[in-house]
Structure 1
Amino acid sequence: MARILVIDDDASIRALLREILTEEGHEIEESPDGRAGLRRFKQYLPDLVMTDILMPEKDGVELIMELKEVSPTIRIIAMSGGGRGLDAAFNLRMAQDFGATRLLVKPFGRSQALEVVNETLAL
């Protein structure tokens, strides 16, 4: 299956995605923030990146721009539940404007996550 890098400062989101995606046969790596995520991306060379938008160290939009510089064809799923006075839709539109392939609104369920991952991997 696919190699997927999950970047999120929320350990429970990383654990949930690890559980969902490993059950489907995917290989998962994790990072707790954008800066560590960029380093891990360069080492791991995943097929797909799933990243939160609002994180410490380096936010998801900045990370998406840098990932696209390093690998213009990388598929990226941006995730957000809002925060910092902004709603999730605003955060996700901005992520899409800067290169996110697909969007996933938090909170999400197993079927939603799998649908978005499968659609993105099929591109």
Structure 2
Amino acid sequence: MTKRILLIDDDQPFRESVREILESEGFQVAEYSDAIYAVPHIKEPFDLAITDIMMAEMDGNQLAHTIRKDNPALPVLGMTGGGRIGDASRIKSFCPPKLFTAILSKPFLAEELLDAVNTSIN
């Protein structure tokens, strides 16, 4: 059965690249440019949510908390490049433990993404 992934990132070219990698491996991907648009869909039957942590309207931490409340069995994989706040390791330090199955530092290799996805789903 095809695994379904909810993908949220406000960087369109990056989001499209991640989607292409995932689809090339047989995953079905629903993508959104902001967590606000993804929230109405978090109760749908997804196997994994992948979200950028630094976004304008609703950040990845807020989204992950909402997912934990509304769909606690859905694993959440975080991604960050750091942005205006600083480097990715600094952003990771602001994320509560156990909120994410893993947090990838952008940019990452396709193999790193797929390893984290497969570990998060299994």
Task: State percent identity of aligned pairs.
Answer: 36
The structural deviation recorded for 1:93 is 3.4
Aligned length: 121
| Runs of 4+ deviating beyond 4 Å | none
Moved more, 93-102 or 17-26: 93-102
| Equivalent residue number for residue 27 of structure 2 | 26
Question: RMSD over aligned Cα, in angstroms?
Answer: 1.4
| Equivalent residue number for residue 94 of structure 2 | 94
Q: Where does 1:1-123 land on structure 2 (aligned, <5 Å)?
A: 1-42=2-43, 44-97=44-97, 99-122=99-122
User: How far apart in 1 are the matches of 2:39 and 2:95?
Assistant: 16
- TM-score in terms of structure 1 length: 0.90
Q: Are the counterparts in 2 of residues 54 and 60 from structure 1 also a CA contact under 8 Å?
A: yes
Partner SS state of residue 42, structure 2 = helix
User: How far apart in 2 are the matches of 1:66 and 1:53?
Assistant: 13
The structural deviation recorded for 1:12 is 1.1
Q: Are the counterparts in 2 of residues 68 and 74 from structure 1 also a CA contact under 8 Å?
A: yes
The structural deviation recorded for 1:66 is 0.8
User: How far apart in 2 are the matches of 1:95 and 1:16?
Assistant: 25
User: How far apart in 2 are the matches of 1:32 and 1:45?
Assistant: 20
Q: Which runs of 5+ in 1 are unaligned?
A: none
User: How far apart in 2 are the matches of 1:23 and 1:41?
Assistant: 23
